[in-house]
């Protein structure tokens, strides 16, 4: 049976170079980075090197990079600390954010009584800049806006510079979940005036369990996890040195190869969409994912022309064929309620049909995509 992995938006295959770096770190650099002896100093030096590498690529300061366990922790930390430490009384977000943001906002509303507002979406599911501006105009309390750069289910992208500029115009803080875009798009944080970003290494061929938060300097957040003085006193806990080394290596390789790999993966995405349209008349692409200008090149979310009864068996049948894909975020894989993102943007008729997210990486081939399209065509005719 052929094996085809088209679920890189959930997590990516780890690069061989990253595995080698991590193995070397585990074998040879096992000192506690907080220890003052040579073993500890060696580990600490490499952690700070990784911090500087990331900061330089993002055009940020090393002190603005805080290592976390991943995107979910970073989102929680930023939102919670902003309410607790900065006096934020109004949170503005959208109903298609990752649940790391949505559930945190809901909890903060219950715990602190903050006001929560949701930006309107356009017909394709992208947050409206005009709606955000209207909400900010009418906001008298200290406000934080949280809108993801690339939607993890449908791939829609916001014009993050424009959103950041509007937030600055109205003196609102701006947080963006950039888990699906860091490692896939260039950043210059001296030009893009966001206050907070989040990233996870496993979305760009690094290890799971490590990521980082970008917190713009001179924003006085306090630690959320208490204990030691790691991460400049901002996040306690012994640093997972091997994961940080893996994160750095994956980050460096992602940007060294960005142009070449983006062109290759974009070609795969376009080929896949063309093949689907030819093989399955009536197929639709959800959100803006069919547009390479308005969505990321790494995924498509496809509404397939199958009945609800047939669609209920689709992922099972694809799995039997060795094909990995998903109906939405992997974090919701056990949910029976369906995608909260698609619920916001699809008609009742299209919600009855199966929608599947296929996401790509440098490791995929056109031959694999041909196999997937043939399997879908066979399933449609069965």
Count of CB atoms within 10 A of residue 23's CB?
Answer: 13
User: By CB neighbour count within 10 A (0-12 exposed, 13-18 middle, 19+ buried), where does 85 fall?
Assistant: middle
DSSP state at residue 326: B
Its pTM stands at 0.94
pLDDT confidence of residue 71:
97
Which residue, 99, 142, 148, is CA-closest to 119? Answer: 148
Angstrom CA distances, 57 to 160, 185, 343, stand at 18, 11, 37
Which pair of structure tokens corresponds to residue 273?
Answer: 């969409």
pLDDT confidence of residue 202:
98
Is-contact 298 361, C-beta < 8 A? yes
pLDDT confidence of residue 338:
81
How many Å apart are CA 54 and CA 277, to the nearest integer?
40
pLDDT confidence of residue 287:
96
- Counting as low any pLDDT under 50, the low residues of the chain are 334
pLDDT confidence of residue 261:
98
Which residue, 14, 19, 3, is CA-closest to 365? Answer: 3
124, 303, 331, 375: the active-site residue = 331
> What are the strands of the beta sheet with 355-359, ordered from one edge?
284-285, 299-303, 355-359
Which residues, in sequence order, are CB contacts of 138 under 8 Å at separation 6+?
none
pLDDT confidence of residue 146:
98
pLDDT confidence of residue 331:
53
CATH class of 16-256: alpha beta
How many Å apart are CA 210 and CA 243, to the nearest integer?
6
Question: Nearest 5°: phi and psi at 122?
Answer: -80, -175
Q: Does domain 4-12+258-381 have CATH number 3.90.1150.10?
A: yes
E strands of 119-188, at which residues? 143-146, 173-177
The ranges assigned to domains in the chain are 4-12+258-381, 16-256
Is 331 a catalytic site residue?
Answer: yes
């Amino acid at each position: 049976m052929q094996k085809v992995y088209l679920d890189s938006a959930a997590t990516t295959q780890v690069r061989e170079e990253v595995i080698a770096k991590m193995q070397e770190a585990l074998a040879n650099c096992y000192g506690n980075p907080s220890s003052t002896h040579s073993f500890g100093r060696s580990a600490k030096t490499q952690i700070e090197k990784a911090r500087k590498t990331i900061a330089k690529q993002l055009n940020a300061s090393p002190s603005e990079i805080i290592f976390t366990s991943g995107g979910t922790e970073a989102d929680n930390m930023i939102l919670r600390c902003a309410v607790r430490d900065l006096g934020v009384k109004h949170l503005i977000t959208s109903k298609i954010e990752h649940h790391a943001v949505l559930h945190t906002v809901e909890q903060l509303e219950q715990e602190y009584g903050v006001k929560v507002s949701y930006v309107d979406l356009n017909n394709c599911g992208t947050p409206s800049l005009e709606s955000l501006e209207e909400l900010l105009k009418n906001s008298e309390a200290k406000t934080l806006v949280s809108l993801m750069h690339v939607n993890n289910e449908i791939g829609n992208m916001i014009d993050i510079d424009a959103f950041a500029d509007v937030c600055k115009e109205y003196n609102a803080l701006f947080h963006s979940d950039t888990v699906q875009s860091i490692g896939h798009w260039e950043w210059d944080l001296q030009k893009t005036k966001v206050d907070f970003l989040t990233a996870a290494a496993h979305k760009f061929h690094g290890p799971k369990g490590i990521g980082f938060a970008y917190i713009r300097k001179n924003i006085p957040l306090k630690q959320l996890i208490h204990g030691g003085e790691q991460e400049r006193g901002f996040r306690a806990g012994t640093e997972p040195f091997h994961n940080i080394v893996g994160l750095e290596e994956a980050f460096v390789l992602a940007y060294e190869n960005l142009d070449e790999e983006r062109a290759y993966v974009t070609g795969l995405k376009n080929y896949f969409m063309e093949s689907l349209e030819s093989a399955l008349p009536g197929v639709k692409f959800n959100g803006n994912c069919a547009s390479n200008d308005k969505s990321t090149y790494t995924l498509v979310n496809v509404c397939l022309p199958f009945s609800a009864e047939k669609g209920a068996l689709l992922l099972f049948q694809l799995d039997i064929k060795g094909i990995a894909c998903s109906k939405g975020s992997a974090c919701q894989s056990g949910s029976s309620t369906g995608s909260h993102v698609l619920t916001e943007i699809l008609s009742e008729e299209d919600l009855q049909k199966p929608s599947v997210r296929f996401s790509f990486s440098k490791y995929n081939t056109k031959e694999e995509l041909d196999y997937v399209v043939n399997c879908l065509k066979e399933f449609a005719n069965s």
